[in-house]
Amino acid sequence: MPTMADERRDVIRILTIETTCDETAAAVVTDQLEVLGTVVASQDEFHQKFGGVVPEIASRAHLERILPVLDETLKKAGVKLSDIDAVSVANRPGLAGSLLIGVASAKALAFALGKPLIAVNHLQGHIYACRIAAIQKRQSEKQQPERDVFPCVGLIVSGGHTSLYRCRTPIDFELLGTTIDDAAGEAFDKVASMLGLSYPGGPSIQRASSAGNPNAYSFPRAMLNDSERLDFSFSGLKTAVRYKIAGTGKADFSQIRLSEQETADIAASFQEAAVDVLVGKSVQALRKTGMKTLCVGGGVAANARFREKMTQAAEKHGFQLHIAPISLCTDNAVMGAIAVERYRTGLFESLDLDAFPT
Ligand code: KG4
Ligand code: ZN
């Protein structure tokens, strides 16, 4: 029986690999940005008891999972390795040991198949998720192409990064501002841990917040008053929450008992402050650059309050907003479809490709 792959010989299929942090992921995508198959193996269960990602555990888990994930991805996509036209991997930025597993796997596959090897930037991939979603939406609604999402201001808001970029093209980014201490996702994870909520902290804080009052406590919104500077800071917010929970002395959070309502109110007030800063700095970046489109990606962009307040800001300030769909916010290999941009112009790598943590 002919497979889907046999019927569509004209299509370019790229096998994308993502192992920058703690998700082992692979996908088969086409040059038309169709997703033929995608698999994400999360490691949350391993990192849970530490309240954050442990690099050594992450790289070992990638090593154990990468081959089964690749097998399952090809199976889901209904293609054989011989149907693949190129292999791509996110080789920056990320945890050194984690990146190396993806890079070594991609190099081995590209060599064995005699196909081009493509390297992509994980952060650019988070923003590219917005283009993938916009194109898929148009294809499913059979609409004429509207304006592309690029050029845009890009906000990447994840566990390791909180940065604003001027994105001229999918692969030409200029940094406008970044966090000077914690990333927003890191703050969600640490505050969740102080509140005794499970890892990853973002979804737990969101759940707890639903029963809380976002105005119960007035937590700081750092950097919002300085519209010239597009940096972020979340450590003061984290410390303010710590003081609210445990006072200013040394704290053993396992001994602190908050009522359900107190937990919900602190979670909601923290979430509100973090979201206000992310929305406010993005609006300032749009104003400063004169750009009219904002694309947002990264795990924290899955947050419901963030999506709601950003949508309100877009209506109020009149900019085009593209937030990656929730399934493409946290790390995945579909966003590795950005490799298509490099495939088209022949931007291939040699087999001595390295991993770049920063
Ligand atoms: O993009 P991502 O999967 O990995 C990195 O590249 O860091 O982001 C993970 C981060 C974690 O800190 C997690 O707590 C946060 O995204 N996150 C959320 C939500 N879902 C995930 N933060 C707030 N609200 C959420 N619903
Ligand atoms: Zn990420």
Q: Write the CATH number for 294.
A: 3.30.420.40
Q: How far are the Cα atoms of 110, 165, 263, 340 from residue 100, in angstroms, in the given order?
A: 15, 26, 40, 22
In the chain, the number of structural domains is 2
**Please, are residues 121 and 90 in contact by the beta-carbon 8 Å criterion?**
yes
pLDDT of 270 higher than 60:
yes
In a domain, 352, yes or no: no
298 C-alpha to ligand 1 centroid (Å): 7
Same domain, 108 and 227: no
In a domain, 165, yes or no: yes
List, edge to edge, every strand of the sheet that includes 35-42: 35-42, 23-30, 13-18, 86-92, 117-121
Same domain, 246 and 209: yes
The CB of 116 under 6 Å from ligand 1? The reply is no
316 C-alpha to ligand 1 centroid (Å): 26
The CB of 53 under 6 Å from ligand 1? The reply is no
CA distance 128 to 51: 29
**Res 255: pLDDT:** 81
In a domain, 323, yes or no: yes
Same domain, 21 and 154: no
Same domain, 203 and 319: yes
Q: Are strands 86-92 and 13-18 parallel, antiparallel or unpaired?
A: parallel
Pick the residue whose CA is nearest to atom 8 on ligand 1.
Answer: 299
The mean of the pLDDT values for the chain is: 94
pLDDT of 168 higher than 60:
yes
Of the listed ligands, the closest to the CA of 160 is: 1
Using alpha carbons only, what angle is made at residue 223 by residues 219 and 226, rounded to the nearest 5 degrees?
Answer: 135
pLDDT of 124 higher than 70:
yes
pLDDT of 110 higher than 60:
yes
pLDDT of 8 higher than 60:
no
Nearest to 297 by CA among 91, 106, 149: 149
Same domain, 313 and 201: yes
The boundaries of the domain holding residue 213 are: 149-328
pLDDT of 51 higher than 80:
no
Same domain, 312 and 167: yes
The number of the ligand 1 atom at minimal distance from the alpha carbon of 188 is 14
**Res 247: pLDDT:** 83
pLDDT band at 43 (very low <50, low <70, confident <90, very high): confident
In a domain, 356, yes or no: no
- The mean per-residue pLDDT over the stretch 329-344 comes to 97
Same domain, 338 and 266: no
The string of DSSP codes covering 23-63 is EEEEEEEETT--EEEEEEEE-HHHHGGGTS--HHHHHHHHH
207 C-alpha to ligand 2 centroid (Å): 21
Same domain, 285 and 170: yes
The CB of 189 under 6 Å from ligand 1? The reply is yes
In a domain, 256, yes or no: yes
Same domain, 106 and 218: no
Largest separation between any pair of C-alpha atoms in the chain:
70
- The mean per-residue pLDDT over the stretch 288-310 comes to 98
Same domain, 190 and 338: no
Same domain, 320 and 335: no
